[in-house]
Every structure is written in structure tokens, then in C-alpha cells.
């Protein structure tokens, strides 16, 4: 018995020793290695993809967001271990997901632990796959970029690919800000590789991408895109672009292109539709450049506002430029003698050339460069071009002539808007802004834009003088009548340019670029709008093709911004509106040459007014005061004190009036007052007189006078 007990004890001791030895071996000798192998099987460093930042408009409306979606993947090795019929699985999956069966079968048959079947599927598709419960087929959540407004601002936003990486537009240029940082955390996974537990608590806000708040106004952007698309289709054009800008701070309120695309399915549109034409496509600006030619000449002091230029040319009504007989003309018209304001209103090529010659090659080149032509504006968008403005040392005489009126150089729509903003903003060239602020995931502002003045291009007085001149362009004798906005005084310039043939040289026969750029209200600019239509087929004149786009976009924008119509909406009296409507109809019937609806010469017309009998005024009658030489404000006060209404036309000082001074008329009668730009003064004096004209409406309100204002009507002398 004792032997048995001893033997049993010995066996127990041997067994215990073996267990202890094995435990020692596992825990001590091989412990570290076994723990490492276990960790490899059960613990993984899981990469947490950050949530991409949201892009908003200036008011917080979402333009680009990231949404959670499900994607389908397979573990082919697991399917093999569990003897899954991959051919049957491929048939079922391809039917549920609408993908190619052979592609699915190929991935299920691979010798891999992981293979994507279909990414970013719909909720219905995900539910179908989940219901199949096929071993080795799993779903995972990931983030997808979504553009809730579809094609709205598509060229600005660009798009991101399936991995959430920016490909075009702001999605590309601001990738570092939007993407955030990828973090890795340790996690416990099951045999299928799914995360089941993580002890690490990660504040994922630190990894998330930043949000962008743009300067774009969603409403204005929509109007710009709608009107641009209408114009391109109406005139059977190839494409077009519109830029709406706040001249005071350089903020871009809208940037539209057509054709366009839906960034939710960018691959469905051709690459040409994805071109951000407003910043990438160069075009010869044509007559819009005359604005800056005139401004540069006035600023340099080589031209006076009242200076007259003979724009008749030779017997063919052409101006010979060089010894080889090269010449330019005004399409057969003889405008006679014109001032700079009249050159802009009539868009005379000869007149612009004569002004350009006054500047000389270096002067014109420097003037245009100061307005920003020949260099990119610096918008944070990929692909911006600076246009082409060759150095003046490479110019011939003909280059000086053609560049003066916008041929022989090329610009972009954003450059045109930025340059005109300098005129509207007192001569200050602003750096255009597209991003107002950058906000991180904790709602802290990490970057905020502020207005940046690149340089003072021309003196403030010169800019104001040119602004006044540009109001004549949208008058009844100007080329931009179609751009006039009822209730607001508009300053702007039309452009019609032949398209350059960059392959063969010269110009494309019958192909044009039509444009209009301007701002409103002219006396207190709130918006600058540049419209460019490429290759219109139905008509090609800038005033006819691009002008209406400016008018409709401008009208909607000013009302959206709450800008009151000048003079309480009475700036354009019924007679003025009717006159514009009549002229538009006449020009519609005479598209080919855009004939003037009627020729009006205010000074001569008023001089021919019948004489008034000189006598003492009776009861209910008043004496018409002499307004000649007075500024607008002074003239309004004088008429109000006399008990008379005022019909103001033009800007500057009083050049003529009707009834004539000294006449006797009934109290409350209307006196027509024509203002013209004064003769050349020192800049300070010009600015003072311009300010006086701008205060006319306030003076009228204070004195009770009724003001009916109209754009200046330049006189053509033949």
C-alpha cells in the first residue's frame, strides 16, 4: 500500500514538474515571443481616416460635404477555408451591385486576405449584400465626398476621388487643409479582421480636416450660372464665363463657367466641360481694354478729359499706322471729332489708337501692367494663367495701335474683373479673394482673409473721371445700352474681338469673343461683373451678347444685396425707360451694324429752344435761374429754391439748360439740365466736382426737388 502511495506521489510530482516546466517555458522562456504572436493575431494598428473638411459659401450654405457610406470587400482566403462557392457568390454580388460578374469572380478567386468588390454603395445595395450573409463578404464604412448642389460652383469646388483626395479646383489646391491628418490607434480585432475593442480614446477632432468658408454667395452664383447658360445657348456660343466681384475688398461673389459638370459624377462629363475658363482661357479683350488705355493716359497727363481727337481717318475712314500702309478703322464709320468720353461711348478704335499713341509703347505697356494684365491674379485655384502682354520692346507700330483697343494681347475673365474693380475702387487694385476664413474642427478660426491692396494703379480722381465717362457707354448713344439696369446708373464697356488663330497666325474668320465689364451703382459701386461669351454664332457684338447677361445678373445681385435704387428708384423716369426700350427694339431689328436708335445733340437742341418773353413773373410763375457752370448739387439747390423740378443728365458741371435762364415758367415746371465733364483742372478739383455730382440726390431730398437722372450722352461731331 505504501509502495502504491509512494508511486502515485512520484507520478504526481513528475506530472507537476512537467506542468511547471511547461508553464515556465511558456511564461518565461517563450513568453515574449508568444505574446508577440498573439498581438499580431489579435491587435492591429488601425488607421483612422480623418473626416474631410466641409466647404461653405459666405453665409454657411454647404457646397461640399463628406457623408458616411458603406463599401463591400471580400476575404478570398476565408472564403476558401469555408468552402464558399465563389462562382455563385460572384453571380449574386454582381446582380445586387450592378457590376461586372467576371471582375467580381476574379477578385473572389485571388489568393489575398482583402479585395474591394464595390466601394461607396447605396444603402439599398448594402442591405442586399448584408442579407446574403456570404462568409468572407463584409461591409465597412468610409467617407464619400458629396456636392449637394450638384453643378453649382463646380469649377470652383473641383472634386475629390473615391479615396477622398482632391483632384481639381479647391479640393486640389486646398487638399492639405481639407484632408486633415491620418491617425493610427491599437485595436483588438476578431478572426475576420474586424475591430471589436480599443482602449485608446482618440479625440478625432485633432485629425479632421479644416472647413473652408468661401466669399461666394450661393444665390448670386446660381443667377450667374443660369444667365450665362441662357446666353451661351441663345447665341449658339461655344462657352462663356462670368465673374462677380466686390470692388471694395476684392471678394469673389460668383465665378461661373459654361459648359459645366456635376462633381458627384465628374467622369460622366468631358474634360473640356471641367475647364475653369474664367481663369485658364485666354482671349483678346477687344474694346474693353480701351477703358484702361484711357485711364492710363489720363493718369500720365498726356491726355486731357476735354481733349478732342479727330477720328475721321482718311477718305476711307481709316487711320494709316505705318509706312507699310497698315491701317485701322471704325468699321466704316466716321465719328468725326471725339473726346475721351465719346471715344469710350462710341468705342472708336481710331480714337483709342490716338490715345495709345499719346502714351507711347512704354507708357501703354506700363499702364496695362499696372492694371494687372500679363500676370496671374493669385487666386488659390490650379491652372490660372496670366494672359499674354508682350514687352513693349517687341512691339511694332501696329502693335501699339491694336493693343490700344484690345487686340494683340490676351487676358482672362478674372483679370478683366479685377482691373475694372480698380476703376470702381478709386484706382486701387485689390488682390481677389476666394476664401474668407479657415475653421478647424474645434470651430476655431485658424486663418482669415483681409482685403489686400496690390497697388494704387491711377489717382483716385482719374478713376472717378473714367467711371463717369463709362456711364455714357450704357446711354442711348453708347454701345452698351443692353447692359443698362433700370433703377441703377451703370458704368461699363463693351468688347467685340476677333479670335486669334494661334496655330496659323492671324485671326479666325467669322469667330469672335463678345464681352462686357462694368459696375453698379456707378456713383457708389457695390459689384463689378465681367461677362465673356466665346464664339457666339447668332450675333457677336459684346453689347448685344454679353450686355444682357450683365444686366440680369447685376439687377438680381443688387437686389439680393439690398442696394437701393438711386433716388428711391426714380433715377430712370418713365420717359427714360421707354426710350431705352425703343432703342433696344430698333437695335434688335438692325443687329448687323447696331445703328444708333436716334442721334441726340443736347447742346444744339437746347440752343434751338424757343425764346421766352421777358416779363415779370405773375402769381404761380417763377423765374428760371441761370445754372451754367454750377455743379449738380448747386444746380439742384437753386432749382429747389425757385420751386422747380430738375431733370439731370450726365455728370460734371452744367453746360446747358432748358428753359433758358431768365425765362418765366409755372411753379413746379421741370427744367432739363445737361452736365458735362469740366475742362481739365488739377486732380483735386476734379474729384471735388465729382463728389458734388454724387451728392445730387441727397441735396434733392433735402430741398424737395425731384431729380430725374440719366447717363451722359456724348455728342458726335462730324
Question: Residue 188 pLDDT more than 60?
Answer: no
Distance between CA atoms of 295 and 358, rounded to whole angstroms?
Answer: 12
* Beta strands 453-456 and 428-430, pairing class: antiparallel
Q: Of 7-11, 195-199, 222-226, 510-514, which one has max mean pLDDT?
A: 222-226
pLDDT score of 637:
73
Whether residue 452 contacts residue 250, with contact meaning beta carbons closer than 8 Å, is answered with yes
Which tops the pLDDT comparison, 24 or 460?
Answer: 460
Give residue 403's pLDDT band: very low, low, confident or very high (50, 70, 90): very high
Give the pLDDT mean for 279-283. 95
Which tops the pLDDT comparison, 18 or 375?
Answer: 375
Helices then strands, counting H and E runs in the chain, come out as: 24, 29
Among 115, 117, 212, which Cα is nearest to 156's?
A: 212
Q: Of 134-143, 440-449, 620-629, which one has max mean pLDDT?
A: 440-449
* Beta strands 664-666 and 621-623, pairing class: antiparallel
Q: Please write the tens of the pLDDT for every residue from 534-563.
A: 999 988 999 999 999 999 999 999 999 999
Instruction: Locate CATH 3.30.10.20 in the chain.
Output: 619-710
DSSP string across 431-493? PPB-EEEEE-TTS-EEEE----EEEE-S-HHHHHHHHHHHGGGGSTTSTTGGG-BTTB--EEE
Give residue 108's pLDDT band: very low, low, confident or very high (50, 70, 90): confident
Give the pLDDT mean for 190-204. 50
Give the pLDDT mean for 179-193. 61
Give residue 38's pLDDT band: very low, low, confident or very high (50, 70, 90): low
Distance between CA atoms of 513 and 545, rounded to whole angstroms?
Answer: 10
Q: Of 119-123, 127-131, 487-491, which one has max mean pLDDT?
A: 487-491
pLDDT score of 144:
85
Handedness of CA 261, 267, 272, 276 (dihedral sign): positive
Question: Residue 456 pLDDT more than 60?
Answer: yes
Whether residue 311 contacts residue 337, with contact meaning beta carbons closer than 8 Å, is answered with yes
What CATH number has the domain spanning 47-214?
3.90.1310.10
Least confident span in 100-114, 137-151, 261-275, 630-644: 630-644
Distance between CA atoms of 87 and 628, rounded to whole angstroms?
Answer: 96
Sequence-separated (6 or more) residues with CB below 8 Å from residue 486: 555, 572, 577
Distance between CA atoms of 542 and 59, rounded to whole angstroms?
Answer: 33
Whether residue 253 contacts residue 557, with contact meaning beta carbons closer than 8 Å, is answered with yes
Distance between CA atoms of 567 and 557, rounded to whole angstroms?
Answer: 18
Our CA angle for 555, 157, 121, nearest 5°, is: 125
Our CA angle for 286, 292, 295, nearest 5°, is: 145
Which tops the pLDDT comparison, 650 or 166?
Answer: 166
Distance between CA atoms of 655 and 19, rounded to whole angstroms?
Answer: 118
Question: Residue 246 pLDDT more than 90?
Answer: yes
Question: 7 exposed, middle or buried (CB, 10 Å; 0-12, 13-18, 19+)?
Answer: exposed
Per the annotation, the verdict on 287 as an active-site residue is yes
Whether residue 184 contacts residue 47, with contact meaning beta carbons closer than 8 Å, is answered with yes
688, β-bridge pairs: none
What phi and psi values does residue 517 have, to the nearest 5 degrees? Answer: -135, 135
pLDDT score of 28:
64
Query: In Å, what is the CA distance from 640 to each residue of 619, 637, 696?
Result: 18, 5, 12
Whole-number average pLDDT of the chain: 81
pLDDT score of 217:
97
Q: Please write the tens of the pLDDT for every residue from 70-106.
A: 888 888 888 888 888 888 888 888 888 888 888 988 8
Question: Residue 150 pLDDT more than 90?
Answer: yes
Question: Residue 647 pLDDT more than 50?
Answer: yes
Task: Put residue 651 in one of left, alpha, beta given phi > 0 → left and psi -120 to 50 → alpha.
Answer: beta
Which tops the pLDDT comparison, 303 or 613?
Answer: 303
Question: Residue 708 pLDDT more than 50?
Answer: no
Distance between CA atoms of 56 and 202, rounded to whole angstroms?
Answer: 27
649, β-bridge pairs: 674, 710
Question: Residue 27 pLDDT more than 90?
Answer: no
What CATH number has the domain spanning 619-710?
3.30.10.20
Distance between CA atoms of 241 and 235, rounded to whole angstroms?
Answer: 14
Alpha helix (H) ranges present in 253-348? 277-280, 290-300, 340-346
Question: Residue 610 pLDDT more than 90?
Answer: no
pLDDT score of 649:
80
Distance between CA atoms of 334 and 513, rounded to whole angstroms?
Answer: 24
Distance between CA atoms of 168 and 154, rounded to whole angstroms?
Answer: 10
Question: Residue 592 pLDDT more than 60?
Answer: no
Distance between CA atoms of 224 and 550, rounded to whole angstroms?
Answer: 9
Which tops the pLDDT comparison, 44 or 551?
Answer: 551
Which tops the pLDDT comparison, 601 or 581?
Answer: 581
Q: Of 270-279, 493-502, 694-703, which one has max mean pLDDT?
A: 270-279
Give residue 272's pLDDT band: very low, low, confident or very high (50, 70, 90): very high
Q: Single out the catalytic residue among 143, 173, 239, 287.
A: 287
Give residue 464's pLDDT band: very low, low, confident or very high (50, 70, 90): very high
Determine the 3-state secondary structure of 387 from DSSP. Answer: coil
Cis before 571 (ω within 30): no
Question: Residue 178 pLDDT more than 70?
Answer: yes
pLDDT score of 483:
94
Share of the chain above pLDDT 90, in %: 48
Question: Residue 253 pLDDT more than 90?
Answer: yes
**H-run or E-run covering 413:** helix 413-424
Distance between CA atoms of 465 and 683, rounded to whole angstroms?
Answer: 9
What phi and psi values does residue 231 have, to the nearest 5 degrees? Answer: -65, -45
DSSP 321: -
Which tops the pLDDT comparison, 86 or 424?
Answer: 424
Distance between CA atoms of 215 and 589, rounded to whole angstroms?
Answer: 41
How many alpha carbons lie under 13 Å from residue 525 in its C-beta half-sphere? 30
Sequence-separated (6 or more) residues with CB below 8 Å from residue 209: 50, 51, 52, 53, 177, 178, 179, 180, 441
Question: Residue 711 pLDDT more than 50?
Answer: no
Give residue 570's pLDDT band: very low, low, confident or very high (50, 70, 90): very low
Instruction: Locate CATH 3.40.710.10 in the chain.
Output: 218-589
Whether residue 494 contacts residue 288, with contact meaning beta carbons closer than 8 Å, is answered with yes
Which tops the pLDDT comparison, 251 or 718?
Answer: 251
Q: Please write the tens of the pLDDT for every residue from 655-696.
A: 788 887 777 888 888 888 887 654 333 333 223 333 334 444
Which tops the pLDDT comparison, 678 or 486?
Answer: 486
Whether residue 208 contacts residue 441, with contact meaning beta carbons closer than 8 Å, is answered with yes
Sequence-separated (6 or more) residues with CB below 8 Å from residue 132: 92, 93, 96
Number of neighbours of residue 137 by Cβ within 10 angstroms: 21
Instruction: Locate CATH 3.90.1310.10 in the chain.
Output: 47-214
Give the orientation angle of helix 218-234 with respect to helix 547-560, to 10 degrees. Answer: 160
Question: Residue 593 pLDDT more than 70?
Answer: no
Question: Residue 156 pLDDT more than 50?
Answer: yes
- What architecture is the 218-589 domain classified under in CATH? 3-Layer(aba) Sandwich (3.40)
pTM reported for the whole predicted model: 0.71
Question: Residue 266 pLDDT more than 70?
Answer: yes
Question: Residue 336 pLDDT more than 70?
Answer: yes
Sequence-separated (6 or more) residues with CB below 8 Å from residue 300: 359, 363, 367
Amino acid at each position: 500500500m505504501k509502495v502504491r502511495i509512494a508511486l502515485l506521489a512520484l507520478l504526481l510530482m513528475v506530472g507537476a514538474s512537467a506542468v511547471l516546466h511547461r508553464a515556465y517555458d511558456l511564461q518565461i522562456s517563450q513568453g515574449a515571443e508568444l505574446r508577440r504572436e498573439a498581438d499580431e493575431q489579435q491587435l492591429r494598428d488601425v488607421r483612422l481616416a480623418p473626416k474631410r473638411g466641409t466647404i461653405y459659401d459666405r453665409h454657411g450654405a454647404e457646397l461640399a460635404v463628406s457623408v458616411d457610406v458603406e463599401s463591400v470587400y471580400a476575404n478570398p482566403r476565408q472564403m476558401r477555408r469555408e468552402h464558399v462557392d465563389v462562382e455563385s457568390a460572384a453571380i449574386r454580388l454582381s446582380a445586387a451591385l450592378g457590376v461586372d460578374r467576371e471582375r467580381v469572380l476574379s477578385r473572389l478567386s485571388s489568393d489575398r486576405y482583402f479585395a474591394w468588390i464595390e466601394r461607396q454603395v447605396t444603402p439599398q445595395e448594402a442591405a442586399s449584400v448584408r442579407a446574403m450573409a456570404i462568409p468572407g463578404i463584409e461591409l465597412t464604412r468610409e467617407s464619400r465626398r458629396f456636392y449637394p448642389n450638384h453643378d453649382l460652383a463646380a469649377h470652383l469646388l473641383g472634386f475629390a476621388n473615391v479615396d477622398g483626395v482632391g483632384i481639381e479646383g479647391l479640393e486640389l489646391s486646398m487638399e492639405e487643409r481639407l484632408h486633415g491628418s491620418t491617425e493610427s490607434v491599437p485595436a483588438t480585432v476578431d478572426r475576420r479582421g474586424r475591430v471589436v475593442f480599443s482602449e485608446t480614446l482618440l479625440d478625432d477632432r485633432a485629425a479632421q480636416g479644416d472647413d473652408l468658408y468661401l466669399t461666394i454667395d450661393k444665390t448670386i452664383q446660381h443667377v450667374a450660372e443660369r444667365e450665362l447658360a441662357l446666353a451661351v445657348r441663345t447665341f449658339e456660343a461655344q462657352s462663356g464665363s462670368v465673374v462677380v466681384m466686390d470692388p471694395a475688398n476684392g471678394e469673389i461673389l460668383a465665378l461661373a463657367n459654361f459648359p459645366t459638370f456635376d462633381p458627384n459624377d465628374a467622369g460622366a462629363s468631358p474634360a473640356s466641360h471641367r475647364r475653369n475658363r474664367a481663369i485658364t482661357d485666354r482671349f483678346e479683350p477687344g474694346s474693353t481694354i480701351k477703358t484702361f488705355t484711357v485711364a492710363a493716359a489720363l493718369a500720365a497727363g498726356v491726355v486731357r478729359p476735354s481733349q478732342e481727337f479727330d477720328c475721321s481717318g482718311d477718305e476711307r475712314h481709316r487711320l494709316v499706322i505705318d509706312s507699310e500702309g497698315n491701317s485701322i478703322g471704325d468699321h466704316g464709320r466716321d465719328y468725326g471729332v471725339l473726346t475721351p468720353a465719346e471715344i469710350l461711348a462710341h468705342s472708336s478704335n481710331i480714337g483709342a489708337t490716338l490715345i495709345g499713341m499719346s502714351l507711347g509703347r512704354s507708357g501703354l505697356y506700363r499702364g496695362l501692367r499696372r492694371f494687372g494684365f500679363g500676370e496671374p491674379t493669385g487666386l488659390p485655384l490650379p491652372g490660372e494663367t496670366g494672359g499674354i502682354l508682350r514687352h513693349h520692346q517687341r512691339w511694332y507700330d501696329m502693335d501699339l495701335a491694336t493693343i490700344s483697343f484690345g487686340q494683340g494681347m490676351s487676358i482672362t475673365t478674372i483679370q478683366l474683373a479685377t482691373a475694372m474693380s480698380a476703376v470702381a475702387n478709386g484706382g486701387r487694385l485689390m488682390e481677389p479673394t476666394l476664401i474668407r476664413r479657415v475653421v478647424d474642427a474645434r470651430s476655431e478660426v485658424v486663418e482669415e482673409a483681409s482685403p489686400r491692396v496690390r497697388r494704387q494703379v491711377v489717382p483716385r480722381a482719374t478713376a472717378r473721371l473714367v467711371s463717369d465717362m463709362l456711364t455714357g457707354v450704357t446711354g442711348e448713344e453708347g454701345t452698351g445700352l443692353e447692359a443698362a439696369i433700370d433703377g441703377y446708373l451703370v458704368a461699363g464697356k463693351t468688347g467685340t474681338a476677333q479670335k486669334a488663330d494661334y496655330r496659323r497666325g492671324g485671326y479666325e474668320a467669322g469667330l469672335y469673343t463678345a464681352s462686357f465689364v462694368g459696375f453698379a451703382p456707378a456713383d457708389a459701386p457695390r459689384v463689378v461683373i465681367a461677362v465673356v461669351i466665346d464664339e457666339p454664332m447668332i450675333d457677336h457684338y459684346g453689347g448685344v451678347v454679353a450686355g444682357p447677361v450683365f444686366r440680369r445678373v447685376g439687377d438680381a445681385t443688387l437686389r439680393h444685396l439690398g442696394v437701393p435704387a438711386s433716388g428711391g428708384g426714380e433715377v430712370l423716369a418713365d420717359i427714360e425707360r421707354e426710350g431705352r426700350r425703343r432703342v433696344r427694339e430698333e437695335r434688335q431689328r438692325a443687329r448687323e451694324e447696331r445703328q444708333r436708335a436716334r442721334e441726340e445733340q443736347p447742346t444744339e437742341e437746347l440752343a434751338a429752344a424757343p425764346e421766352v418773353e421777358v416779363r415779370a413773373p405773375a402769381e404761380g410763375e417763377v423765374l428760371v435761374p441761370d445754372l451754367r457752370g454750377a455743379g449738380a448739387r448747386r444746380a439742384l439747390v437753386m432749382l429747389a429754391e425757385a420751386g422747380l423740378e430738375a431733370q439731370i443728365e450726365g455728370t460734371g458741371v452744367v453746360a446747358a439748360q432748358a428753359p433758358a435762364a431768365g425765362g418765366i415758367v409755372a411753379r413746379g415746371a421741370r427744367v432739363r439740365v445737361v452736365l458735362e465733364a469740366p475742362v481739365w483742372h488739377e486732380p483735386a478739383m476734379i474729384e471735388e466736382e465729382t463728389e458734388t455730382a454724387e451728392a445730387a440726390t441727397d441735396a434733392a431730398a433735402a430741398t424737395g426737388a425731384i431729380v430725374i437722372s440719366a447717363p451722359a450722352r456724348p455728342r458726335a461731331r462730324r
